[in-house]
Amino acid sequence: RMGRTVVELFYDVVSPYTWLGFEVLCRYQHIWNIDLRFRPAFLGGIMQATGNKPPAALPKRAEYILKDVKRMAKYYQVPVKMSADDFQRVIGTNTLGAMRFLTAVDMTQPRYLEPLSREFWIRFWSQHEDISQQESIMQVAGKVGLPSELSQKLLEMFSSPEVKNRLKETTEEAVKYGVFGMPAVVAHLDGEPQLFFGSDRLELLSSVLGEKWLGPVPS
């Protein structure tokens, strides 16, 4: 399929809304004429660089998010499970290690990037388990079939300057595109990057791409 449009998804597995967008884009990557590229980035770095604050910092918005995520999870058919306790859990979870691990995977074993990213979301947002400790990361890797020896090598890699710099550069690149939160989709159309923010902007993305929107679960 010639002339495919490059579509980049900048993501961090701490974001439940990003999981929704990730799954829909995964479903459409073989339907639309796009070259979907997963770009692991660090949401904490983006928030700091742009002066953004967690959406749940506003109590009324936090109330809305609980209802909104529940509705969207049903609509998109993604098993996100969220409660009021999760707001504090997100604040107390550092995903830097997970995102460095995914960066190391992207650099050396890219075929595992999609299933591994999904498994991090499942663990954190469906099973409400830890994803910050090395033991947890190894368990996630085992779930998607990474050999333990390879997982150990990737774990050793994630503290290397190469991986740290790659994640930092990807995060900075996102900010240059105008990203201030996630999910952030950048579509490269006629040499111009166009930013779409939010999992509820994918229908608009399809229109700009000139592709058909077949719903959140295309049949």
Of the listed 15, 117, 151, 199, which one is catalytic?
A: 15
Tell me, what amino acid is at 62?
A: A
Distance CA 10, CA 37 (A): 9
The secondary structure of 133-193 as a DSSP string is SHHHHHHHHHHTT--HHHHHHHHHHTTSHHHHHHHHHHHHHHHHTT--SSSEEEEEETTEE
Q: Token digits for 99?
A: 């995102």
Tell me the backbone φ, ψ of residue 166, rounded to 5 degrees. -60, -45
Strands of 56-147 (E only): list them.
none
Task: Assess whether 15 carries a catalytic annotation.
Answer: yes
Catalytic residues, which ones?
A: 15
